[in-house]
Amino acid sequence: MGNGATSVKIDATAGGAVRVDDPERALAAINGLNEPETLRQARRLALERFRKLPMPSRKSEEWRYTDIANLRLEDFEPAIPGLDGDRPKGSEPGGLDELESVPEPVREVLARSRERSGVWVQVDGVTVYHRLDDDLAERGVVFASISTVARERPDLLEKYLFTSPIPEMEEKLWAAHVALLSEGFVLHVPRGVRLPTPIHTFRCITKPGTLVSTHSLVAVEEGGEATCIDEFMSPDLPETSINLAGAELFGGPEATLHYIALQRFGTGVKHFGLQHVTSQRDSRLAGVNISLGGDLSRADVTSHLEGSGSESEMLALWFGDRTQHFDHHTLQHHAAPSAHSDLLYKGALTDSAHSVFRGLIRVEPEGQLTDAYQTNRNLILSEKASARALPNLEIKADDVRCSHGATVGQVDSNQLFYLMSRGLSRRQAERLLVFGFFDEVLGRIPLEGVRDRIREAIETKIGISTSSLTSA
Amino acid sequence: MPRNETIAELGLDEYGYDFVTEDKPVFKSRKGLDEEIVRQISAHKEEPAWMLEFRLKALEIYESKPMPEWGGDLDQLDLDEIYFYVRPQDRMQHSWEDVPDEIKDTFEKLGIPEAERKVLAGVGAQYESEMVYHSLKEEWEQQGVIFESIEDGLKKYPDLFREYFSTVVPTADNKFAALNSAVWSGGSFVYIPEGVKVEIPLQAYFRVNAEQMGQFERTLIIADEGSEAHYIEGCTAPVYTTDSFHSGVIEIVVKPNARFRYTTIQNWSNNMYNLVTQRALVEEGAYMEWLDGNLGSKLTMKYPSCFLVGEGAHGQILSIAYASDGQHQDTGGKVVHVAPNTTSQITSKSISKGDGRASYRGLLKVYEGATAAKSNVECDALLLSETSRTDTYPYIEIDEETASIGHEATVSKVGDEQLFYLTSRGISQEEAMAMVVRGFIEPIAKQLPLEYAIELNRLVELEMEGSVG
């Protein structure tokens, strides 16, 4: 993120009013929040769970390679707008169509393409910009902050918010996520409505030492269609900040949903993505995770195939440098017959970066005629980089086709030699080959505009421009 | 002793080898385990002081380690109900004539004497906790090959024994390795001298026979530089009414440029807990192969390992698991690449039938500095019924830039087209199924010596009976 972002002034968070290690004060602060009781109740319950649960330790299989036992979430300043009863400036619905509060890097991205059905921007937990195409609003599409939806469409929250089953390994972080929720958005696409262009949201962290908890709730009803990009960014921070990003994605019968999380935080950020996908009959859902930034980036992605004939595509790319640590955990949960899931996660690592992939295909006895695939490929580009891959299968139905594969290797030396013989430096050639390695995933992302946005982000990250190479 | 009626009552009489030979143990320790029992075992074996110390220290480690929480369900395993030491005779037998009739009888039912007289060279037959019969071909003796019971190995070759014992599997490696270290009894001690090639496989048959008796075999093998040998361990056990427990430790050192193959065909009865630690240290240019067949037991947790510590070492693991009703085969393999240019291959085939569960669990680790290490893992699982289950849990840990690693697994059922084709040729449904299964395991079966391949196929056929419908 460029310089503009840091100059944004938001003084919405009240200093340290919710300290989870001080239950009395925390409760009082939650009760003082100007939000519907249902949300406050969810926070209270989550706070209680958070205090009871231990931090995940490396003794559990799910956290074997990522050590957060000493990460005290209690030590971070939760960014919760409206603490002490103050309504943050400009959070009124409809009053956020001015770009003045939007950080410069976001404006830059927005300026590059106008093909968006809606935009929502959050800075340090505060909503600063929001827009939805009028005709979509007229057709019943809901796209707004959770606090707004809580007042105007409580039924939607009742039906969907925090309803996903949370696996044990994720409970502690999920409890913190709910209890300390800064703000999130809801996208609800009514039956049969198709969004012509993507919804694009931005979450920016500008302050060190904070904990931002943000939520994406996307529900596409029967036959509806939507594409949603969640982009996460920050400048390099001098001290650690935490980002807890929950996502609940629901696909009704025959619905189509593409969800892309583009994580490009600066240094200093520890990011935890907690994504839950639930698919009904004959729906088609694709979840894409592009992980580029942060010091630690963990994504827990669960896909529940609950309806027969549902399809779930799970894609991810990561590029790690410095001492970055990436950890992707996935579950393809086949609880219905004739469902199809296909996972392709690819990562490239240089410097002293580490990556972990742990994926599980679980086929329940009801999951006859399941087709499930899982592939993890890793490229190691330096001596100190390392990769862990744990592709797991648990199959309790017999009439299934399941396979998984994992590889760890290097860029092809012949290809490297060829590119270098054409005048590219080793680094350039290597990076170009990484791009080629990523192309298999990029090629499966629908909508050219979305693909371009991801390609740009990767180019920035790995320091190479494919367009400049081809035009040169 | 339980009687055959009990077995019939339990409906276990369809088990192929459920004959019971009446045995007459000479000494049987009481149930459960404490320091006193460990001292008794050591005293009975007339061991040197260092071994008693070793055992007592192991007991401490065993007691301090928690039960593993991963893998199979060990809740039903009550270690206090197990006899940790039984010895049927006072002395080792050196010729077939001296072997007691009831034990011979057991072997005859297994077809061992026939094989023994023809091709088998040295048979260390473990009846209950000790070797009762041990022979070695003369020519091997001349070559300097040592093939002894582990107890005799300790007595006759104390220096060689002490140099390698517990160096491949340290006592503290895991809870059951610690247990074995405290109470080990029986097993083989093998030394193949430099450059010696043993053409005929060394074989050790053993059986567990006394009810609730623990079997803690310990085998130590050293294949010296440039040597070649193949060791076969096969077992079938009669069915008993209460759970039985087997926890062995196999240590193998494969010296530079040696080639060693270790084959296990395990067909314990379906009440057996089989928790074994098998590991080989593979030095420069050496080749180690584990061929691991798991057909029996209630629960098997066994992951033969190769530590590739010398440049250019190769590790090969072939694993086959058959889990039928009431069985959980939690098997696989581990390869650790420590040195440059090391290569490895793991091939696993599993079949789950009835409510059986077959799990592949494996580790592939490449340390930094193991440059150009290459490894490939393939796991295929076949599911034969709606209630059967299969899992795959591979761990892949790569710290080396120039390593090249691949893992693949597939799960499938027997194709309807395959069955239709075969049955349309006049083959019964049952036979067609058996043919498909035989075809599935063929890549591993063909690696076995002929007698074992035949036996494996026969076992699969027995297992396939009544599996259709």
| Residues B187 and B197 reside in one and the same domain | yes
pTM above 0.90, yes or no: no
Q: How far apart are CA A338 and CA A371, in angstroms?
A: 7
Q: How far B371 CA lies from chain A's nearest CA (Å)?
A: 10
- pLDDT < 50 positions in chain A: 1-17, 84-94, 470-472
CB contact under 8 A, A403 and B392: no
Q: How far apart are CA A440 and CA A444, in angstroms?
A: 7
Residue A393 lies in a domain: no
pLDDT of B211 above 50 = no
Q: How far A397 CA lies from chain B's nearest CA (Å)?
A: 6
Interface of B with A in 356-395 (CB under 8 A): 366, 368, 381, 383-395
| pLDDT at residue number B212 | 34
| Residues B325 and B390 reside in one and the same domain | yes
A397 inside 8 A of chain B by CB: yes
pLDDT of B65 above 60 = yes
Residue B16 lies in a domain: no
Lowest-confidence region among A354-358, A456-460, B17-21, B249-253:
B17-21
DSSP characters for B396-408? EEE--TT-EEEEE
Pick from B386, B391, B406: which is nearest to A393 by CB? B391
| Residues A188 and A53 reside in one and the same domain | yes
Q: Report whether B57 contacts B50 (CB < 8 A).
A: no
| Residues B308 and B373 reside in one and the same domain | yes
Domain boundary among A307, A325, A358: A307
Q: Report whether B208 contacts B246 (CB < 8 A).
A: yes
B408 inside 8 A of chain A by CB: yes
CB contact under 8 A, A407 and B406: yes
| pLDDT at residue number B90 | 41
Residue of B440 and B235 predicted with greater confidence: B440
- Give the chain A residue whose CA is nearest to the CA of B352: A398
| Residues B376 and B448 reside in one and the same domain | no
| Residues B410 and B452 reside in one and the same domain | no
Q: How far apart are CA B348 and CA B321, in angstroms?
A: 8
| Residues B326 and B447 reside in one and the same domain | no
- Locate A9 and state its tokens: 């002034």
| Residues B299 and B435 reside in one and the same domain | no
pLDDT of B175 above 60 = yes
pLDDT of B205 above 80 = no
How many of the other CB atoms lie within 10 Å of CB of A313?
Answer: 19
In chain A, which residues have their Cβ closer than 8 Å to the Cβ of B408?
A: 403-405
Residue B17 lies in a domain: no
| pLDDT at residue number B102 | 52
Total count of domains within chain B? 2
A45 inside 8 A of chain B by CB: no
| Residues A302 and A428 reside in one and the same domain | no
Mean pLDDT confidence for B375-383:
92
Q: How far apart are CA A281 and CA A302, in angstroms?
A: 17
| Residues A418 and A288 reside in one and the same domain | no
Residues B348/B351/B356/B358 CA torsion (nearest 10 deg): 10
CB contact under 8 A, B389 and A404: no
| Residues B133 and B205 reside in one and the same domain | yes
In chain A, which residues have their Cβ closer than 8 Å to the Cβ of B356?
A: none
Domain containing residue B47: 23-429
Residue A45 lies in a domain: yes
- Locate A29 and state its tokens: 């602060």
| Residues B465 and B332 reside in one and the same domain | no
B74 inside 8 A of chain A by CB: no
| pLDDT at residue number B447 | 79
In tens, the pLDDT along B403-427 reads 999 998 888 888 788 888 888 888 8
Mutate to test the interface with B, among A345, A395, A413 (most CBs of B within 10 A): A395
Residue B315 lies in a domain: yes
Residue A355 lies in a domain: no
Nearest-Å Rg of the Cα atoms of chain B is 22
| pLDDT at residue number B466 | 56
| Residues B219 and B297 reside in one and the same domain | yes
Domain containing residue A93: 3-307
Confidence of residue B312 (pLDDT cuts 50, 70, 90): very high
In chain A, which residues have their Cβ closer than 8 Å to the Cβ of B384?
A: 398
Question: Coil, helix or strand for B264?
Answer: strand
In chain B, which residues have their Cβ closer than 8 Å to the Cβ of A395?
A: 381, 383, 389-391, 411
Total count of domains within chain A? 2
What is the ipTM, given to two decimal places?
Answer: 0.79
| Residues A120 and A257 reside in one and the same domain | yes
B419 inside 8 A of chain A by CB: no
What mean pLDDT is reported for chain B? 79
| pLDDT at residue number B137 | 59
| Residues B356 and B468 reside in one and the same domain | no
Residues A348/A351/A353/A359 CA torsion (nearest 10 deg): 20
Q: How far A458 CA lies from chain B's nearest CA (Å)?
A: 22
In the numeric block, the tokens 């041990």 are attached to B134
Residue B264 lies in a domain: yes
Q: How far A250 CA lies from chain B's nearest CA (Å)?
A: 28
| Residues B197 and B176 reside in one and the same domain | yes
| pLDDT at residue number B129 | 38
pLDDT of B442 above 80 = yes
